[in-house]
Amino acid sequence: MKVNDRRRANSISIAARSTRLWLPIPALLLAFALAACGMSQAESGSDHGTPRTHGERAEAEHFTLLPQDIKWLDPPPPAAFLPEGIKLAFIEGGPPNLPVPYTFRLKFPPGSRLMPHTHPSIEKLTVISGTLHQGVGEVFDQAASETVPAGGFSYRAPGIAHFVWFEEETVLQFSGNGPFGLKYVNPADDPRNRR
């Protein structure tokens, strides 16, 4: 191969490589533009009492939800593990029982308690109002509880047995990736077994 042939081959190779590097950029820009067109509609006027479906992508949207707009509901059948009197509000994301991101709130009336239980996924919660009393272990022991005031945060790995109780109305916000669930250490504590 002559010197000129090698230079020509190298310049073609460089041009081909740089074209390959730049071809994905317009494709990515087009994909982002199409996603933005399809995903940018705000949630105004939508029903926040119903979780979004699995296919919706809340993380690509912007919306604001004011406290007076939160719709409190009785827990649906997939959340029948919750004792009576607890209210549920879906904030964003998909149904917590599916493998999708979620944010929801639970409102506990005074005197509520959840006996020792575990979760199949990470539990991340923030105390919005009121006071959370929680303890770790397979036996409910109020004396071994810690107190988490409004503004506090709690993180728990999957499978850790724990219990909670409330002296006053308390709102907790949960966020994470589903499926979220609850399994009581003692099946007799499960409200589904008493209904």
User: Structural domain boundaries of the chain?
Assistant: 3-39, 58-193
142 pLDDT above the threshold of 90: yes
The reply to whether CATH 2.60.40.1180 applies to domain 58-193 is no
**Residue tagged 């820009």 (tokens):** 29
- For the stretch 82-112, pLDDT in tens is 999 999 999 998 888 889 899 999 999 999 9
pLDDT at 135: 97
164 pLDDT above the threshold of 60: yes
Mean pLDDT along residues 137-147: 97
Q: What pLDDT band is residue 4 in, cutting at 50, 70 and 90?
A: low
**Which of 138, 83, 139 lies closest to 106 in space, CA to CA?**
83
**Which of 145, 173, 162 lies closest to 89 in space, CA to CA?**
173
Q: Let me know if 142 is exposed, middle or buried by CB neighbors in 10 A (0-12, 13-18, 19+).
A: exposed
55-64, 77-86, 143-152 — which is least confidently predicted? Answer: 55-64
